[in-house]
Chains A and B, each alone.
Chain A
Amino acid sequence: MTTSITPTKAGLPPAPPVEAARRGFIEIIAPYAYIAPFFLLFAVFGLIPLLFTFYVALFDWNPIGEHVFVGLDNFDRLLGDVRFWNAARNTVSIWLLSTVPQLLVALVLAHLLNHARLRLAVFFRMTMLVPYITSVAATAIVFVQMFDRDYGLLNWLLGLVGFEHIDFTQSVTGSHVLIAVMVTWRWFGYTTLLYLASLQAVSREIYEAAAVDGAGNVRQFLHISLPALRPVIVFTIVTSTIGGLQIFTEALLVNRGAANTCGPIRQCQTLTLFLFEQGFIQFKFGYAAAIGVALFVMVVGFAGLNYFLSTRIRPVKG
């Protein structure tokens, strides 16, 4: 395997020994040089910051002051910090509230868009991506206005039909729902297209055969589409888990009055927002790095769980 890149010397005229050695050396390192740009960039922007974060987490690190080595004190403090556990709880809650509806909606939509007799299919498929290509900040600002307690469109409609106004941003549940709606809105189209791509690989004849046998839309969905989608469903669960652990912009923009904590009682402060608050508002880089490491451990944990699951779930062949 490793030697296959180097051509055999047999057909070549005898070269002076020194030049041959040099050429041999170049030929050995050439393939590494070709792939080096990626790995260099990855090292500079990925690996080194990653390792440096582990290093910074061991310090009381003021970016414009002293760096005092404190060992594992930051982690010790983190584990006893109610704000950290609050942020972790919020993150998981918002992740569940956004992922579950998003995947369900996407599944149904993908099945509908895959329908053979759907008119304007390309149009509908393209519009799915509009929320995804809209700026997160713009989406957040519009949604916060729509959900406003006193002047929002939604509460105005609720008021028209005689309900009390709901204060979405100030309560724990309300703010989580609000953020989850934004996340779902942004990602459901992307997920739908992933599912759709997978469904298109399923032979149409299977659906036709099922239809001939008298299977309706629901049966076709449950017994053909769903089994075919299993691997991609697992994939979207993983990506939305990783994305869900990093929800930031929406949380930052929900409560403009106390933006860095997402409200006065940190009701929707996510882990990344907590990291941002500690790092770039309080300038406690060491503590923020420790939060980053904790987040890393969580992401790796979820990814490992997924690897475990995905090796056990295989598509069911028609």
Chain B
Amino acid sequence: MNFRKVSAVVFTATAVLSMAACSGSSSGTSSSESNGSSFEFWSFTGIDAKGSAAEYKAKRPDVQIKLTEVGNAQETAQALTTALAGGKVPDLVLIQGDDLPKFVQQPQNFVDLRTMGADKIKGDYLDWVISQPTAKDGSIIGIPTDVGGMAIAYRADLFKKAGLPTDREEVSKLWPTWDAFIETGKKYTAATGKAFVDNAGGSVYSQVVNQGQEKYYDPAGNLVYERSPQVKAAFDLALKAVAAGITAKQSTFTEGWSAAMKKGDFAVIAAPVWMLGSIRDNAPDTKGNWDIATIPGGSGNWGGSFLAIPKGAKNPKAAWDYIAATQSPQGQLDHFSKARSLPATPSVYKDPKLTSAKDEFFSGAPIGTIYTDSLLGLKPFLIGPDSTTIGIEFTNAITNVEQGKGDPAKAWDAAVTNIKNAIGS
């Protein structure tokens, strides 16, 4: 009995500890055959990676693509990290923008795509997008597949009930600035008694903070989050929206958020282009009630992904051929027509295929032009190793004021303390 107890204790303790010890350095061999025309591709779920692979195979029947949909974007990045540490890597992997910085910090794990020809095509992409996969030593470890241009999705039917204009041009004129956006929210809430926007962290803070020229780091790589005027302005605007009582206090992608969207308990979401699919799937009954207006401040981006080739890839050439064929301006435009992923290549932004694209779910809004217009005003800024952590802590401080009992006067200091604690400086 005692032995069993003790061994049970040892086993359980071991189980916990082994979680922390999944690293190692064995040199496994990839299962993909090295015949030069096949490659192994890790992608996310939910973005129709199978469709993309099938399109490519139709053009290149000689190529075998061994596609694995690993999980969501974060799980794919975790699997990639484990794979890089263990040595058994795919030939091609899709990395979401949020997860990219920690890989860019360690560029030695990836093929420098300049050696494959990225130098020649890097001018095709928006400068602030291609700067993200560019490491300190100048190597380029990823090619952008899409960007998450910003707009505001609003419920025209609810606006009408609140006595607000419903036409997308007029609605856009309601909020040239974020202050005007909050004022509109107050009018809406006063007229209906309901919340205006889903939350302050995602729909206000995360948007405003990306509209400046400098975020958490200065161009030299020094941490400036404490004194960056853009960060402070974004934080204060978010708190102002909370104080105005116009937020539904529903964090993005939670159960409550989905329910509130279905019931029309908020009228407005800051919607990156990929959010349109979420709204469509989440609240199918609201078809035709939505429309899309421009975002306050005129520009914004949330999301976007990159294709990278790990250093240990068996068939880097086949993987690069895929990138070169599918991520050219024309390739991204074709993909926009099929899958509504927004090209990162500005040369196609005036193409009729893009400008004529309309979305019936959103009352026929011209999504191509609305979203690409939001991308042109953005400036490149340095994303550092702790950018994600800093962003999470600021958003958490706002959420705590919004949903919890946090004191708005102390929120900024609390966020800064938490950041220092988390990043150790």
Contact = CB atoms under 8 A, between A and B. Distances in A.
Contacts of A170: 403-404
30 contacts: A46-B18, A49-B18, A61-B23, A64-B85, A65-B105, A65-B106, A82-B421, A145-B255, A148-B256, A151-B263, A170-B404, A238-B9, A255-B254, A256-B254, A257-B251, A261-B396, A264-B400, A264-B406, A272-B19, A275-B16, A275-B19, A276-B19, A282-B389, A289-B17, A292-B17, A296-B13, A296-B16, A296-B17, A303-B6, A307-B5
Contact of B256 (A149, A264, A282): A149
Contact of A258 (B18, B251, B265, B405): B251
Interface secondary structure of B, over-half rule: helix
Interface in A15-72: 45-47, 49-50, 52-53, 56, 61-65
B251 to A, nearest CB: 3
A250 to B, nearest CB: 15
A239 to B, nearest CB: 7
Given A64-B85, A264-B397, A264-B400, A150 B19 contact: no
A139 B246 CA distance: 33
B11 A62 contact: no
A189 interface: no
Report, as a range, how many residues of chain A touch the other chain: 35 or more
Interface in A257-287: 257-258, 261, 263-265, 267, 272, 275-276, 279-280, 282-283, 285
B228 interface: no
Interface stretch (B76-84, B349-357, B367-375): B76-84
A56 B404 contact: no
Contact of B23 (A56, A82, A83): A56
A129 B207 CA distance: 48
A64 B105 CA distance: 10
B391 to A, nearest CB: 12
Contacts of A242: 8-9, 12-13
Given A64-B106, A264-B399, A246 B12 contact: yes
A52 B17 CA distance: 9
Contacts of A182: none
Contacts, number: 157
B259 interface: yes
B421 A171 contact: no
Interface in B376-425: 389, 392, 395-397, 399-400, 403-406, 421-422, 424
A178 B255 CA distance: 16
B405 A292 contact: no
Contacts of B115: none
A275 to B, nearest CB: 6
A272 B85 CA distance: 22
A299 B222 CA distance: 41
B421 A83 contact: yes
Interface of A: 45-47, 49-50, 52-53, 56, 61-65, 77, 81-83, 144-145, 148-151, 167, 170-171, 235, 238-239, 242-243, 246, 255-258, 261, 263-265, 267, 272, 275-276, 279-280, 282-283, 285, 288-289, 291-293, 295-296, 299-300, 303, 306-307, 310
Contacts of B251: 255-258
Contact of A256 (B10, B255, B260, B395): B255
B102 A283 contact: yes
A56 B260 contact: no
Contacts of A263: 404
Nearest to B397: A264
A46 B392 CA distance: 35
Nearest to A260: B392
B19 A257 contact: no
B5 A306 contact: yes
Nearest to A55: B21
Contacts of B109: 64
A280 B75 CA distance: 10
B18 A53 contact: yes
B20 interface: yes
A103 B328 CA distance: 63
Contacts of B404: 170-171, 263-265, 267
Contacts of A144: 255
Nearest to B84: A64
Contacts of A264: 395-397, 399-400, 403-404, 406
Given A256-B255, A276-B19, A288-B20, 17 more contacts: A50-B13, A50-B14, A53-B20, A64-B103, A65-B105, A144-B255, A148-B255, A151-B260, A167-B403, A238-B9, A242-B8, A257-B251, A265-B396, A280-B78, A291-B20, A296-B16, A310-B5
B34 interface: no
A63 B85 contact: yes
Nearest to A261: B396
B413 to A, nearest CB: 14
A49 B17 contact: yes
Interface string B83-124: 011000000000000000011011001000000000000000
Contacts of A50: 13-14, 17-18, 21
A45 to B, nearest CB: 7
B13 A299 contact: yes
